[in-house]
Amino acid sequence: MQDRVRVQDDLGDELSLDRLPNRIVSLVPSVTETVIDLGAAKRLVGITNYCVHPAEVVSNISKVGGTKGFSLDKIDDLKPDLIGANKEENRKHQIDKLRESYPVFVTYPRTVDGAIKMVLDLGTLTGTSPRASKFASKCRHLLESMDPATVAKSLRTACMIWRDPWMAAGYDTYMRELLECVGFNTVFDEGEDRYPETTLSTIAQREPDVIMLPNEPYEFGTSDKNEVDAFLEEQGSKARTLLVDGSYLTWFGTRTIKGLRFLYDTKSRLVSDT
């Protein structure tokens, strides 16, 4: 007889299921990708429109809407026995509504260790713990194998997440933790907002070495980079502005390894150029 499946989600709520869930609806792109990477794609019956990786798999899974605008009726039609959600990406009142009818596993990783825990928890929930443990070991090995001299070279960094107003990733965020694992250290101080509103003038005054412009959650592009570069040149700043794949910075779970590798390779190039 199958033992009960028990995990504690990132809000501290214990999930206790009679059996492994066979009909999972994921309302979080990173949860969707992680479940698939763990080899449990067949358990996914519904995902959001923003769940785009891996493309060859997600194209065949029913869509329930956006992360904040999903359809409760579509979810009901899919008859899930587990829903994967996230504290920041989904709205609280919607999660509370779903909890009235379904078990909901809420993620909220703000550190690399938190991302590893999420993968291990999803391994438990999908019966893929050996593969999840392999990921955890691989991620920890990657951190340990980075060249200490490269990591120790601190680059003061502003990682933007929005504009109008300009906003950046600050303390107590997954993005900040991921960046600092490789030595991209935020120019925003502890005690400021988690995602502080700012201006280009304020950023320039803090003398960053690097300004990152990801393509999500705001889709920064070439015109934004040109605007930032022109402003920095006027201010006499030598900061490097980089357009980056936002999924490497914002998607936690199995993509954490890709994010760390991307940042380490980027850091290595920047350090070698100085």
The single-letter DSSP state of residue 41 is: G
Question: Containing domain of residue 33, as a range?
Answer: 5-142
User: Same domain, yes or no, for 64 and 154?
Assistant: no
Among 95, 124, 142, the domain-final residue is: 142
Query: How many CB atoms neighbour CB 156 within 10 A?
Result: 15
User: Same domain, yes or no, for 105 and 129?
Assistant: yes
User: Same domain, yes or no, for 128 and 179?
Assistant: no
Sheet holding 62-63, edge to edge: 62-63, 44-47, 24-26, 82-86, 104-107
By three-state DSSP, how is residue 48 classified? Answer: coil
Distance CA 9, CA 29 (A): 17
User: Same domain, yes or no, for 128 and 250?
Assistant: no
Distance CA 261, CA 265 (A): 6
User: Same domain, yes or no, for 12 and 123?
Assistant: yes
Distance CA 88, CA 192 (A): 18
Among 114, 142, 170, the domain-final residue is: 142
User: Same domain, yes or no, for 111 and 222?
Assistant: no
User: Same domain, yes or no, for 25 and 137?
Assistant: yes
Distance CA 272, CA 253 (A): 30
Contact 65, 25 (CB under 8 A): no
User: Same domain, yes or no, for 109 and 164?
Assistant: no
User: Same domain, yes or no, for 267 and 155?
Assistant: yes
- In order of 33, 199, 274, the CA distances from 239 in angstroms are 34, 15, 12
Contact 170, 206 (CB under 8 A): no
Nearest to 157 by CA among 247, 229, 241, 249: 241
User: Same domain, yes or no, for 137 and 154?
Assistant: no
User: Same domain, yes or no, for 194 and 114?
Assistant: no
User: Same domain, yes or no, for 44 and 87?
Assistant: yes
Displacement of CA 11 from its chain's centroid (Å): 17
Among 142, 172, 207, the domain-final residue is: 142
Q: What's the CATH code of the domain at 62?
A: 3.40.50.1980
Q: Please give the chain's pLDDT, 274 residues, in tens.
A: 457 899 999 999 999 999 999 999 999 999 999 999 999 999 999 999 999 999 999 999 999 999 999 999 999 999 999 999 999 999 999 999 999 999 999 999 999 999 999 999 999 999 999 999 999 999 999 999 999 999 999 999 999 999 999 999 999 999 999 999 999 999 998 888 999 999 999 999 999 999 999 999 999 999 999 999 999 999 999 999 999 999 999 999 999 999 999 999 999 999 987 6
Distance CA 121, CA 67 (A): 21
* Strand residues in 109-221 grouped as ranges (E): 155-162, 166-168, 184-186, 197-198, 210-214
pTM, two decimals, is 0.93
Nearest to 169 by CA among 186, 144, 155: 186
Specify the pLDDT at position 1: 44
Count of domains forming the chain: 2
